[in-house]
Every structure is written in structure tokens, then in C-alpha cells.
Amino acid sequence: MRSARIALCALLISGAVGLSPATASSTSATRSAFALSSTAFADGGVIPKVHECTSGGGSDPGKRNESPPLTWSGAPSTAKSYAIVMRDLDNSNLIHWIIYDIAASTTSLPQNVDHAYRPSAPAGARQVYYRGSASLYGYQGPCSPSTVNTYEFVVHALNEASLTRLNSSSSTRAAAREIDAATIGSTRITGKS
């Protein structure tokens, strides 16, 4: 029994030695290459007030309901377009924002994307109508005045150039299903507000 254990240990050690560090790190790099960031807040950090909602009836002029700037890199080379989904993770994953049909050549969104079905930037993109504490197309910022909630921004790389089954009356749930079905890779950041 002892000799069998020694042989097994020797086999495991020789197998581990056979793995090159370059192979291990390139596999890890491939998995973590797709990355998302914002100049407005660090991953896991506090989302500034300018990105909070204005629908709560408050009079704080700092709450302007502007979408944050987002930048991504390292997406799968086969991506034909992008979509972004923002959720409140502490409120039953409530969807606050969906923008899709973002061209594959695009790698960032500016701050304050228009509240329109077809915003002026990025060209060709479309947004889902938010039905909740506000009624508008596009971004609805954090609205949690009595709690600190975590909001997740996910960039989805899609295998379709356009989600043609969606239109100006599509619900957030329908849009999320279409995006999930077409996703070939994704990256995320979170912020607290």
C-alpha cells in the first residue's frame, strides 16, 4: 500500500512539473481578458450622486440620473455587437438599464447617454423603456434612499450584430432573455449607492 501511495505521489508531482507556468498564465489571461471599468467609480466603490435617480421626489441637484461612463477591452474577437445590462442586486435583480445594438467597433460609452430609444451616442444603439419609479428610455440610476444597494453593470459580447426581435415596446425581461441567448462572453463591475 505504501509503495502505491509513493508511486501515485510521484506521478502527481511529475504531472504538475510538466505544466509550464506560461501555459497556466495564458489560460488565466484568456479567461480574464474581457474587462470593464468606469472613470466614475472603482469596481465595488461608491457610485457618485450625479448617477443617482431623480424620481424619488428629492430636491438634491446632484442627483441628475446620468449614466456613468463605461469602457471595456479584451472582448471575444467574434463579437458582432454589445449590450449592457444594469441591475440592482439587492432588489430582486431589478433591471435599471438595458442598451443594446452597440456596434462591435465600440469600446466605451460616454457619460449621460440620452434618455431615448435611439440615443445619439453610440450610433445605432437602442435602449429599453424603463417602467418603474420613472418612465423613460434608457438609464434609471440607483434609487435606494434608505439603504445602500449594490448595482451591477454587465457588458455582454453578442453573436448577433442586431437584436432584431426587440423593438421600442419590448420589456426589460424580454430584452434580457434575448441578450442572454446571444451572449458569447461578458464582463462586469459593481458599485454601491
pLDDT per position as a tens digit, 3-58: 444 443 443 333 333 333 333 333 333 445 999 999 999 999 999 999 998 765 55
pLDDT of residue 177: 97
pLDDT (tens digit, 9 = 90+) per residue, 169-193? 999 999 999 999 999 999 999 999 9
Alpha carbons 156 and 160: distance in angstroms, whole number: 11
Q: Which amino acid is at 114?
A: D
Cα pseudo-dihedral 4, 9, 10, 13, rounded to 10:
160
Task: Characterize 122-149 residue by residue with b for buried, 16 or more Cβ atoms within 10 angstroms of its Cβ, and e for exposed.
Answer: beebbbbbbeeebeebbbbbbbbeeeeb
Whether 88 shows a pLDDT value over 80: the answer reads yes
pLDDT of residue 135: 79
Whether 152 shows a pLDDT value over 80: the answer reads yes
Query: Considering the chain, what percentage of its residues have pLDDT values greater than 90?
Result: 70
Confidence band for 81, pLDDT divided at 50, 70 and 90: very high
Q: What is the CA radius of gyration of the chain?
A: 21
Confidence band for 158, pLDDT divided at 50, 70 and 90: very high
Alpha carbons 99 and 127: distance in angstroms, whole number: 4
Alpha carbons 124 and 103: distance in angstroms, whole number: 7
pLDDT of residue 19: 36
Q: Which residue has the cell 469596481?
A: 43
Over residues 146-166, the mean pLDDT reads: 96
